[in-house]
Amino acid sequence: MMNEAQPPENNRRAHGPGQFSLRRELVGILCLLAALGLFCGLSLRVLTPKRQQYGSVWGMFSREPADSLDVLVMGSSLAYCDVVPAVLYEGTGLTSFVMAGPQQTMPITYYYLREALKTQHPQVVALELTGMFFAPDNRHVKTNLTFMPYDFNRWAASFSETRGEELLGLMFPLYAYHDRWDKLTRQDLTEGLWGQQADVLAGYTYLDQVTPAGAPAYRDDLDQDPAHYARAEEYLEKLRDLCREENIALRCFLSPAAETIPPELLEQLEGTVERLGLSTVNYSARMEDLALDWETDFFDLRHLNYRGAEKFTRLLGEDLTGEGLAPDKASDADLWSRRVAEFSRRKADSDAAPLKLKQSPEGGEGQ
Amino acid sequence: MNFNSVQYLAFLALNVLVYYLLPRKARNVQLLVASYFFYACWNPKYALLMLTSTAITYACGLLVSSSALGKRRLWLALSFAANLGILFFFKYFNFVSGLIARGLALAGWQFTAPALDLLLPVGISFYTFQALGYTVDVYRGDVAAERNFVDYALFVSFFPQLVAGPIERSGNILHQLKEDHPFRWENLRDGFLPLLWGLMKKVVLADNLAVVVNTVYADPAAHGAGDLALATVAFAFQIYCDFSAYSDMARGSARMLGFELMENFRCPYLAVSVQDFWRRWHISLSSWFKDYLYFPLGGSRCGKPRRLLNLMIVFLVSGLWHGAALTFVAWGLLNGGYQAASILLDPLRKKWYGLTRLREDHPLVRGVKRVFTFGLVCLAWVLFRANSLGDAGTVFRALFTGPWALPDWAGLGLSLPALGVMALLCVAMTVLDWFIAEKDLAGRINRTVALRYGVYFLLIVLVLLLGSYGTGYDPQDFVYFQF
């Protein structure tokens, strides 16, 4: 008696438990990699600290409506402590955002601009130039890069500007932040999963403490290594070229400060600016126009507090509009109203309160 | 190169790949080269020392086997003298000369103890005992002397178990070195799970618990009884997770190459007596001492006083094996004392069970015995971990006289949520270890693809999220590397 017809043996592979099946293993590996990728992505969103102020506020910058900024202010803390987008808007109607970072060097500013141009196309990039003299291995490099979106610009900047453990932590953020799991707050969870809100100060860091400045002086902490400066020049040139490609005007400036760049370095900088066909405005040389109160308008000897920042921003706005810049972007009027109101509220509160003297004359975060 | 490093995983993967690509004749040579490379990563000079020890025991094995000059015992003694001499020189010289100096000072004589500034060769205690065990096995006729130097050198230096065991027996390994190990998918699969499990135990549990232990034991006098009790229990789990993790990873690595290493731990904290504990903890060392020291001394075959003395000698030597310090000697003697007391109290214990009509194997009775045994073991761990006998005394005083208060959660080095998670994981790990040992859990997991990859995912996530690694972390060596 013939048995029931059976398919040929080699078409009927029964993989019992424990038997090797390449197909099943490949599926298992792929599922494992996918699950791990999902886990790493989600956990990183939650575990990475959220930057709220002192620059590098990429999470909040990403909430800006696309192509809504007339001016992108870039550079170091001398940008995010000294330029108030709400004041600029109130005085000129120009929308702006301060996309800067603590002690940010020119190479990092270049990658910042590349990243920002993914969602914005400003008329002007206002670049604070003190970063030409920051050492490339300063302690804020990691802060500048950690909060950038995890994409090519961040990888390129990380490989270019960091090495060793710092690079490892930037490329694999879990390496740096996995141990924050027991310090997470509800805000970490909600912002990690749903993203941060738009910045009510548009990248500006509100400072209300006071350091009576006394007489002007020169900074003695700037990096004077010729190799570092040459690299900064190289990236300033790249910034210039990138702006030209994107049809963006690059306006360089130096924020007003009580401690300024020494004359020999200033001369070197002006030579660079001229060689690159750029122009720069040294606001420390326009103290009379600024009418700063040296007793009350400085946060420390290098940064302005809210009073000084407001005065400086108004002058900056006049200069920008004097060059023919006019509002050109469809902006969220409600958002900007809230920004103006927020700055006004904080200013009113600070004006009503007694002066808060800063404990140390040195800078807060960054330079 | 630590097992819990990316470099080791890459090293292992490369060697497994090359091993299966090579013809059979070349494989042992490849493993030998890899093992010496692995050891040389710690210190190239000490690889020569290991080679010297290997050459001595190899030669002595042949001489014992051939009864050269009619003096089998001479060659056995030579092997012991040479290897223990090397071990003494590197590990015990400073300790002994310090003891002599202290003894002479007590007698009123001034003596400046010479001190050698030497780094202890990693794993010297392990490979020395492994090689000595071989010599005794040849002397007893349990194994034939190995004539192939490559095979013998590989037996001594096999990288998965070289620096922290298990201390293998020649009867288990030498024949495996002669066998063909064709590529089998099951070996890779069955080796990967213990590798990952061990990595999790080391990086998540042992290294995190070490933070609490190191914080408290650095200055016991500054901590209350609650802190000290918590840190002692934490140390019990730290050392278990650390050491068993190494053994798991060693066995997993060897399995991927087709080799079977001996089990080294079997749920020691579920032991119902100290004697039972030592049948479950560092099984390879306990059995080595049993076979090569306890039994030759007479074991249990002599009268009770001699039996107790044999026990104390074995545990004294065990304590010394672990370290050249009085704390380790005291730890060994305390464990010996526990067993001696148990033997002496055995008649009373039997009488008590008879009177109460309790069954020794009743689950409640076993539960109480487990808790009591764990307590005794933890008290012994105080000596093992303390930086000095004085510190150990401080801990004991606090534990026995109080004042008792809740631990100072903020001052232990880990946050309260982290402590809670570690506690839960320790319990889970203990339960899972029991299932692995008693119910072939690993085998069941390995047989189901979906379950297996689910377990891989869970273990990797635990390592990624809770592991002790990253910026600012101090990589913790395996605890038993210092032995």
Residue B467 forms contact with A (CB below 8 Å): yes
**Confidence band for B413, pLDDT divided at 50, 70 and 90:** confident
Asked whether residue B200 carries a pLDDT value surpassing 60, the answer given is yes
Q: Which among B154, B261, B133, B249 has a CA at the least distance from the CA of B197?
A: B249
Task: Give which of A40, A174, A175, A182 to mutate to test B binding, by max B Cβ within 10 Å.
Answer: A182
* Catalytic (active-site) positions of B: 322
Sheet with A280-282: list strands edge to edge.
A96-98, A71-74, A124-128, A249-254, A280-282
Helix (H, G, I), strand (E, B) or coil at A84: coil
Q: Kindly state the percentage of chain B with pLDDT values over 70.
A: 96
Q: Looking at residue A2, what is its pLDDT?
A: 38
Q: Which among A132, A156, A134 has a CA at the least distance from the CA of A145?
A: A156
Using CB atoms, pick whichever of B421, B453, B469 lies closest to residue A28: B453
Q: Tokens 């392990």: give the residue.
A: B126
Q: Looking at residue B103, what is its pLDDT?
A: 85
Q: Looking at residue B352, what is its pLDDT?
A: 87
B-chain CB neighbours of A174 within 8 Å are 464-465, 470
Helix (H, G, I), strand (E, B) or coil at A259: strand
Chain A residue with minimum CA distance to B447: A18
B418 is written with which tokens? 């982290």
Q: Which among A65, A62, A52, A196 has a CA at the least distance from the CA of A116?
A: A62
**Where is average pLDDT lowest: A225-239, B62-76, B370-384, B416-430?**
B62-76
Q: Compute φ and ψ for A27, nearest 5 degrees.
A: -60, -45
Q: Verify whether the Cβ–Cβ distance B447 to A35 is below 8 Å.
A: no
Q: Is the distance from CB of B456 to CB of B196 less than 8 angstroms?
A: yes
B232 is written with which tokens? 């002692």
Asked whether residue B133 carries a pLDDT value surpassing 80, the answer given is yes
Chain B residue with minimum CA distance to A19: B447
Task: Give the distance from residue A40's alpha carbon to the nearest chain B alpha carbon, in angstroms.
Answer: 9
Computed on alpha carbons and rounded to an integer, the radius of gyration of chain A in Å comes to 26
Number of alpha carbons in the 13 Å side-chain half-sphere of residue B141: 1
**Confidence band for A46, pLDDT divided at 50, 70 and 90:** very high
B-chain CB neighbours of A44 within 8 Å are none
Q: What is the pLDDT of residues B369-378, one digit of tens each?
A: 999 999 999 9
Q: Which among B178, B205, B254, B204 has a CA at the least distance from the CA of B16?
A: B254
**Where is average pLDDT lowest: A4-18, A44-58, B87-101?**
A4-18
Q: Looking at residue B295, what is its pLDDT?
A: 92
Q: Name residues whose C-beta falls within 8 Å of residue A367's C-beta, 6 or more positions apart in sequence.
A: A76, A77, A78, A102, A103, A130, A134, A221, A302
Phi-psi sector, A362: left (phi>0), alpha (psi -120 to 50), beta = beta
Residue A39 forms contact with B (CB below 8 Å): yes
How much is the ipTM here? 0.85
**Confidence band for A7, pLDDT divided at 50, 70 and 90:** very low
Asked whether residue B428 carries a pLDDT value surpassing 80, the answer given is yes
Q: Kindly state the percentage of chain A with pLDDT values over 70.
A: 93
Residue A246 forms contact with B (CB below 8 Å): no
**Where is average pLDDT lowest: A258-267, B34-43, B355-364, B466-475?**
B466-475
Look at the pTM and tell me if it is higher than 0.90: no
Measured CA to CA in angstroms, residue B482 lies from A245, B117, B121, B476 at distances of 62, 16, 9, 12
Q: Verify whether the Cβ–Cβ distance B464 to A21 is below 8 Å.
A: no
A-B C-beta contacts closer than 8 Å: 57
B-chain CB neighbours of A49 within 8 Å are none
A-chain CB neighbours of B450 within 8 Å are 28
Q: What is the pLDDT of residues A161-185, one digit of tens each?
A: 998 888 988 988 888 889 899 989 9
Sign (positive or negative) of CA dihedral A9, A15, A16, A20: positive
Mean pLDDT of B195-212: 95
Q: Compute φ and ψ for A253, nearest 5 degrees.
A: -155, 165
Pairing of strands A259-260, A217-218: parallel
Q: Verify whether the Cβ–Cβ distance A25 to B449 is below 8 Å.
A: yes
Q: What is the pLDDT of residues A263-288, one digit of tens each?
A: 999 999 999 999 999 999 999 999 99
Mean pLDDT of B10-34: 96
Strands (E) in A213-317, as ranges, are 217-218, 249-254, 259-260, 280-282
DSSP B271-331: -SSHHHHHHHSSHHHHHHHIIIIIHHHTTTSS-HHHHHHHHHHHHHHHHHHH-SSHHHHHH
Chain A residue with minimum CA distance to B416: A182
**Can you say how many angstroms the Cα of residue B435 is from the centroid of all Cα atoms in its chain?**
21
Q: Kindly state the percentage of chain B with pLDDT values over 90.
A: 72
Q: Looking at residue A1, what is its pLDDT?
A: 36
Residue B469 forms contact with A (CB below 8 Å): yes
Chain B residue with minimum CA distance to A44: B465
**Confidence band for A67, pLDDT divided at 50, 70 and 90:** very high
Residue B465 forms contact with A (CB below 8 Å): yes
Q: Looking at residue B411, what is its pLDDT?
A: 82
**Confidence band for A16, pLDDT divided at 50, 70 and 90:** low
**Confidence band for A364, pLDDT divided at 50, 70 and 90:** very low
Asked whether residue A206 carries a pLDDT value surpassing 50, the answer given is yes
**Confidence band for A76, pLDDT divided at 50, 70 and 90:** very high
Q: Looking at residue A3, what is its pLDDT?
A: 40
Q: Verify whether the Cβ–Cβ distance B418 to A182 is below 8 Å.
A: yes
Q: Verify whether the Cβ–Cβ distance A182 to B470 is below 8 Å.
A: no
Q: Residues 142 to 181 of A: which have CB under 8 A from any B CB?
A: 165-166, 169, 174-176, 178-179, 181
**Confidence band for B476, pLDDT divided at 50, 70 and 90:** low
Asked whether residue A127 carries a pLDDT value surpassing 50, the answer given is yes
Task: Round the average pLDDT of chain B to a whole number and report it.
Answer: 91
Q: Which among B237, B276, B381 has a CA at the least distance from the CA of B319?
A: B381
A-chain CB neighbours of B460 within 8 Å are 36
Task: Give which of A39, A141, A179 to mutate to test B binding, by max B Cβ within 10 Å.
Answer: A179
Q: Verify whether the Cβ–Cβ distance A17 to B448 is below 8 Å.
A: yes
**Confidence band for B40, pLDDT divided at 50, 70 and 90:** very high
Asked whether residue B387 carries a pLDDT value surpassing 80, the answer given is yes
Q: What is the pLDDT of residues B329-339, one digit of tens each?
A: 999 999 999 99
Number of alpha carbons in the 13 Å side-chain half-sphere of residue A75: 25
Q: Name residues whose C-beta falls within 8 Å of residue B87's C-beta, 6 or more positions apart in sequence.
A: B124, B125, B128
Asked whether residue A347 carries a pLDDT value surpassing 90, the answer given is yes
Number of alpha carbons in the 13 Å side-chain half-sphere of residue A184: 22
Q: Is the distance from CB of B134 to CB of B153 less than 8 angstroms?
A: no
Chain B residue with minimum CA distance to A174: B464
Q: What angle do CA B405, B430, B382 make, to 5 degrees?
A: 45
Q: Looking at residue B480, what is its pLDDT?
A: 66
Q: Verify whether the Cβ–Cβ distance A182 to B449 is below 8 Å.
A: no
Q: Kindly state the percentage of chain A with pLDDT values over 90.
A: 80
Q: Verify whether the Cβ–Cβ distance B469 to A21 is below 8 Å.
A: no
